[in-house]
Amino acid sequence: MTPDTIDFQIMWNRLIAVVEEQATTLIRTAFSTSVREAGDLSAGLFDRQGRMMAQAVTGTPGHVNAMAESVGHFVREIGPQSIFEGDVYLTNDPWMGTGHLHDITVVTPVFRKGVQVGFFASTAHVVDIGGRGFGPDGREVYEEGLLIPISKFVERGTVNDMLIRIVRANVRTPDQTVGDLYSLAACNAAGDRRLHAMLDEFGIDDLDGLSDFIMTASRAATEAAIAAVPRGTYRNTMTVDGFEVPVEMVVTLEALGDRIRADFTGTSGMSTYGVNVPEVYTRAYACYALKCAIAPEVPNNAGSLAPFEITAPEGSILAARRPAPVSVRHVLGHLVPDVVLGALHAALPGTVPAEGASALWNIQISARASDPDSGLPGAEILMFNSGGTGARPALDGLSATAFPSGVSTMSVEATEHVGPIIVWRKDLRPGSGGAGATRGGFGQVIEIGARDGYDLWFNAMFDRVDHPARGRDGGKPGASGRVELSDGTKLRSKGRQQIAGGHRLRLSLPGGGGYGDPLARDSRAIAADLEAGLIDAETAAKVYGWQGPRD
């Protein structure tokens, strides 16, 4: 049977279900809370050329769009002559994967009746990969942990025992890290089973025709959406905290009718610390921003991503060269959409949100026994936390929400379960959303302390402390973030530090910028924020011109 257009459309829809089950399997089997609780992962199906055909809705743009490139590296490095049925490959090379060592990408070839027809791939963030731990203090990638080049995890069904032993010998959480490797392989296997069931149902033995249909349709739909963007050149700059000095992020967009170019020439050079971003991660988040604003309804695949051309000068902080430290590349990477959307605003006014907190306020905590002879075990604890998003043209920003990463926040209960810490406080931060006709989302306040018998160190990797999210079209900036002890002692926003005995760490997360003139805000919205305690009466009167409810 030769499939027709209707068959291909049905199969395309079925593929989304296949890769979503792939992702669900990873969530259910993962050892790390970053995957199991937060969904910091990606899953997808690729044709035999390494082109991404479908991606799971569950996952992060940084993983998904970077993985779209990384499978091509696997195809090239392994070589067609060395791809066998029963194989599984992996890497965490930042320049071949998703930008830092903590993400493991696993690729599994798909065979149908003895012929290789495609690949399943998945990525997950592991809590520990050795080295200094998840933080920005490293001066070279060699300090940041174990780098695994593209390797065979399984060959013809036999696990590479030496690779497992090397991983176990280099990480603080060997059972957890190795367990996640097996979880990634298992999720690819789940996708493989579902794909074969679909191919059996439709009576076909390869993916070539379906892949060509998906690529052609997706590219055409994206190009049609781009055609609605007024042709021209648009530029935006944004200053963010960086590490040792502030970072200037610069982008120039060219709308060319059937494609858009984004060029980051003018952006600051590399840092001497681990906030550098490999270009693959910059491309991932720049593409995401453009696609969200211009072609949000087109499924994400190699075809729909192709019309977006992203470049950054090699050696800039957004195209870091080996062996630059890149451990917390997400801090600047998550801010890439803000600078891109700021440029796009000039082309499509009334479309994109104001700037938000954007970069996750991840925190890696090392818990160690106060008395080394006590026998109490140590632990590595990872928390994902989010500030407020920028206000939208017609809606308020979202509070304590991860945009652009899209990950969930781990629950307090799950976090406390994996290590000897207590989360004493976790609530919205009043007044942190930037004022506007629509206001920015609120950040949150979090307090963390050690359980009896333990000392805590943490790796700070926070931004928007010195340079808050800017409002748009007359909207006010969101509140800056703060990092301090419970007694008010100010701490650094980046780097490894100790939580002194008897104190708690207090994180005040930044808010999103506002949109439009605050004096134009609906009185009912002001009243609702007052009633909820999210703004005070002084702010309502002074900033919003509040004079009480209006009929």
DSSP one-letter string for 437-500: SBPPPP-EEEEEEEPTTEEEEEEEE--SSSSPPP-BTTPPPPPPPEEEETT--B--SEEEEEE-
CA quadruple 297, 42, 339, 140: dihedral, nearest 10: -160
Compute CA 127 distance to the chain's CA centroid, rounded to the nearest angstrom.
Answer: 15
Residue in the block written with tokens 């954007």: 358
Residue 367 is inside which H or E element, if any? strand 363-369
Please check whether residue 143 is in contact with residue 325, taking contact to mean a CB–CB distance below 8 angstroms: yes
What average pLDDT does this structure show over 170-186?
96
Place 167 in a pLDDT band, splitting at 50, 70 and 90.
very high
pLDDT of residue 58: 82
pLDDT at residue 550 is higher than 70: no
DSSP 83-135: --TT-EEEE--TTTTTSSTTEEEEEEEEEETTEEEEEEEEEEE-S--STT-SS
Residues 188 and 71 sit within 8 Å (Cβ to Cβ):
no
The residue written with tokens 């632990």 in the block is 379
Would the pLDDT of 305 be above 90? Answer: yes
Phi, psi of 499 (to 5 degrees): -90, 105
Biggest alpha carbon–alpha carbon distance for the chain: 75
Amino acid 500: pLDDT = 81
Q: What is the pLDDT of residue 310?
A: 97
Sign of CA dihedral 385, 387, 392, 394: positive
Estimate to the nearest angstrom the gap between the alpha carbon of 237 and the chain centroid. Answer: 22
d(CA 272, CA 294): 36
List, for residues 34-43, the tens digit of each pLDDT value. 888 888 899 9
Residue 425 reports pLDDT greater than 70: yes
What does the radius of gyration of the chain's CA atoms come to, in whole angstroms? 24
Instruction: Retrieve residue 456's tokens.
Output: 């805590």
* d(C-alpha 430, C-alpha 165), whole Å: 49
Mean pLDDT score, 293-307? 95
3-state secondary structure of 149: coil
Distance CA 355, CA 194 (A): 40
Residues 97-143 pLDDT 10s: 999 999 999 999 999 999 999 999 999 999 999 999 999 999 999 99
What's the rounded Cα separation, in Å, for the pair 189 and 21? 11
Q: What is the pTM of this model?
A: 0.95
What is the arithmetic mean of pLDDT over 232-249? 97
CA distance 457 to 228: 51
- Give the residue, 370 or 140, on which the prediction is more confident: 140
Token pair belonging to 294: 């211009």
In tens, the pLDDT along 41-89 reads 999 999 999 999 999 988 888 888 898 899 999 999 999 999 999 999 9
Q: What percent of the chain has pLDDT over 90?
A: 89
The residues, ordered by sequence, that sit 6+ positions from 117 with a Cβ below 8 Å of its Cβ are 47, 48, 110, 111, 205, 206, 207, 208
pLDDT interval class at 547 (50, 70, 90): confident
Q: Which residue's entry shows tokens 């973030």?
A: 481
CA distance 541 to 551: 18
- Listed in sequence order, the residues at least 6 apart from 92 whose beta carbon sits closer than 8 Å to its beta carbon are 101, 102, 103, 104, 105, 129, 146, 147, 148
| 551 pLDDT above the threshold of 70 | no
State residue 4's pLDDT score: 77
Q: Could you tell me the CA-to-CA distances from 208 to 3, 52, 75, 327 in Å, in that order? A: 11, 12, 16, 37
Whether 431 and 351 have beta carbons less than 8 Å apart is answered as no
What is the C-alpha to C-alpha distance for residues 435 and 242, in angstroms, rounded to an integer? 26
pLDDT band at 502 (very low <50, low <70, confident <90, very high): confident
Residue-by-residue DSSP string for 260-277: EEEE-TT--B--SSTT--
The Cα–Cα gap between 263 and 120 comes to 31
Contact 162/106 with Cβ under 8 angstroms?
A: no
The whole-angstrom separation of Cα 262 and Cα 253 is 5
Structure tokens at 342: 């700021």
pLDDT in tens, 388-402: 999 999 999 999 999
Q: What is the pLDDT of residue 197?
A: 95
Q: Kind of pairing, strands 308-311 and 260-263?
A: parallel
User: Would you place residue 375 in the very low, low, confident or very high pLDDT band (cuts 50, 70, 90)?
Assistant: confident
Mean pLDDT, rounded, of the chain: 95
